[in-house]
Amino acid sequence: MEDRNGVVITNESDSRCSCSSSPAKRKSDQRPYKGIRMRKWGKWVAEIREPNKRSRIWLGSYSTPVAAARAYDTAVFYLRGPSARLNFPELLACYGGLDEVSAATIRKKATEVGARVDAESRCAREHDAPPGFDVKPRWFEEKPDLNKKPKPEPESD
């Protein structure tokens, strides 16, 4: 709507609606998979709420979002069955039978899957690196003794 000077007037409630959708969009960008989140220090964690309970099942902490998502998929499959919404539905055949299982068993199965995927991705990164390429940054290995005085640099003539 415009006033007589040609200035566009927006309804205050409309502007609030458009602003409230942007944090939700940002949130989905930060979480590439369902059931996981990233810690401040970069680790990916997975947890799931037990059906009809307030308690959660801790599924572990992983170095990759895929490993955390696979752990979540394992747990949600055992909790909700084949109709569950999974991050990787094509990998459904990897899971065993659907017996009545406890939270501890679900946690164990999920952490096994997540740890396996984490290890596989670590191995893949190390094997994909060219010969002589160090996976860790150089500054990570060079740990100076902070209790010693620094040595003067040699003078160049």
Count Cα neighbours of 60 within 13 Å in the Cβ-side half-sphere: 28
Q: Specify the fold of 24-126.
A: GCC-box Binding Domain (3.30.730)
The candidate with the shortest Cα–Cα distance to 44, out of 135, 108, 118, 110, is: 118
Rounded CA separation 65/87 (Å): 11
Q: What is the rounded CA–CA span in Å between residue 67 and residue 44?
A: 8
pTM above 0.85, yes or no: no
**DSSP assignment letter at 91:** G
What local confidence, expressed as pLDDT, does residue 70 receive? 94
Largest CA distance in the chain: 78
Distances from the Cα of 12 to the Cαs of 3, 8, 15, 20, 100, in angstroms? 15, 12, 5, 13, 52
3-state secondary structure of 81: coil
Q: What is the pLDDT of residues 83-95, one digit of tens each?
A: 889 999 888 765 6
Compute and round to an integer the Cα radius of gyration of the chain. Answer: 25
d(CA 65, CA 71): 10
| Cα–Cα distance for residue pair 102/135, rounded to 1 Å | 39
| The pLDDT of residue 152 is above 70 | yes
pLDDT category of residue 142 using cuts at 50, 70 and 90? low
More confident residue, 51 or 16: 51
